[in-house]
Amino acid sequence: MGEIMPVVREIEEKLRKLKEVKEISVAGSVRRRKETIGDVDFLVVTKNPKKVMEYFVSLPGIVKIWGKGSTKSSIKLRQGFDVDLRVVPAESFGSALQYFTGSKEHNIETRKIAMDLGLKLNEYGVFKGKKPIAGKTEREVYKVLGMEWMAPELRENRGEIEAALEKKLPKLIGYNDIKGDLHCHSEWDGGVNSILEMAEESQKMGYEYLGISDHTKFLRIEHGLNEKQLAEQRKEIDKLNDKFQAARVKFKILQGAETNILSDGSIDIKDEALKKLDYALAGIHSN
């Protein structure tokens, strides 16, 4: 996901700038923000599908065109993943987005609910008999099924449907919910910024704490800190915390360390130094 999202955003932005594109959204596992994905799906509303498809299959970085049509085209990018573009009617955009976002398990359950209500749900809309009664937006699709709209990240058939029916959907974690970061490297460890600079930026981000976890001495190539340097760093951190406390700033710097697990299973700094840390990370970096 982390490798693909920049490419996805770039493609979406380029397509969105086309005057022929009236509406666009990514769908599938990307929209559900899965850690790993198969391919990328885009849905667009346009009255000129030919021009949109011609532009799509001429994007830079394409290594293969799997297919080109008036309603669907598929390409393979040099990054190694496929991208599909589908043109859907404006009146079906919401139902198509709901369908192609998935997951499969989620869609099976929503179709069952539609059937229980005497309705039919597919990518073209929600139908009562042959009459379409919803489909332009996802919200109206879920509404006619008696559910709250739910964030794509929840759509895995893990209780979200029952919660949506009971109007008890959970709130997704957002950036404002993040209170701090416990894995950061400072200029002590060859990083760019000082601890003070990192603390000030963390406060601007609304953090309540910042954990400095510079490498320890085994990783000399990373400017790893020995026991003496860790003690010196502790003094700097304590002074900064005293400064924040005096200014009544509700923020604290924690001293951690990213230690190395040696071949015999021990850690590369002495226990006495470890005990003085607020926390520690441990990993096998080499050998």
Interacting residues of 76 by C-beta distance below 8 A, sequence separation 6+: 62, 63, 64, 65, 66, 82, 83
Nearest to 42 by CA among 61, 59, 23: 23
Q: State the residue range of the domain holding 214.
A: 175-283
Q: What is the pLDDT of residue 66?
A: 98
Burial of 196 per CB tally in 10 Å (0-12, 13-18, 19+): middle
Q: What is the pLDDT of residue 157?
A: 98
CA–CA separation, 101 and 46 (whole Å)? 19
Confidence category of residue 286, pLDDT binned at 50, 70, 90: confident
Phi, psi at 12, each rounded to 5° = -60, -40
CA–CA separation, 144 and 93 (whole Å)? 16
The pTM assigned to this predicted structure is 0.79
Give the Cβ contact number of residue 251 at 10 Å.
18
Q: Identify the CATH number of the domain in which residue 101 sits.
A: 3.30.210.10
Q: What is the pLDDT of residue 220?
A: 65
pLDDT digits (tens, 9 = 90+) for 153-189: 999 999 999 999 999 999 999 989 999 999 999 999 9
Q: Which helix (H) or strand (E) element contains residue 281?
A: strand 281-283
Q: What is the pLDDT of residue 3?
A: 87
pLDDT of 20 > 90? The answer is yes
Confidence category of residue 275, pLDDT binned at 50, 70, 90: very high
pLDDT of 32 > 70? The answer is yes
Whether 257 contacts 277, CB under 8 Å: yes
Q: How many domains does the chain have?
A: 3
Q: Alpha-carbon Rg of the chain, whole angstroms? A: 26
Based on the fold, state whether residues 230 and 275 are members of the same structural domain: yes
Based on the fold, state whether residues 179 and 259 are members of the same structural domain: yes
| The token pair that represents 240 in the structure block | 């900064």
pLDDT digits (tens, 9 = 90+) for 110-142: 999 999 999 999 999 999 999 999 999 999 999
Q: Identify the CATH number of the domain in which residue 66 sits.
A: 3.30.460.10
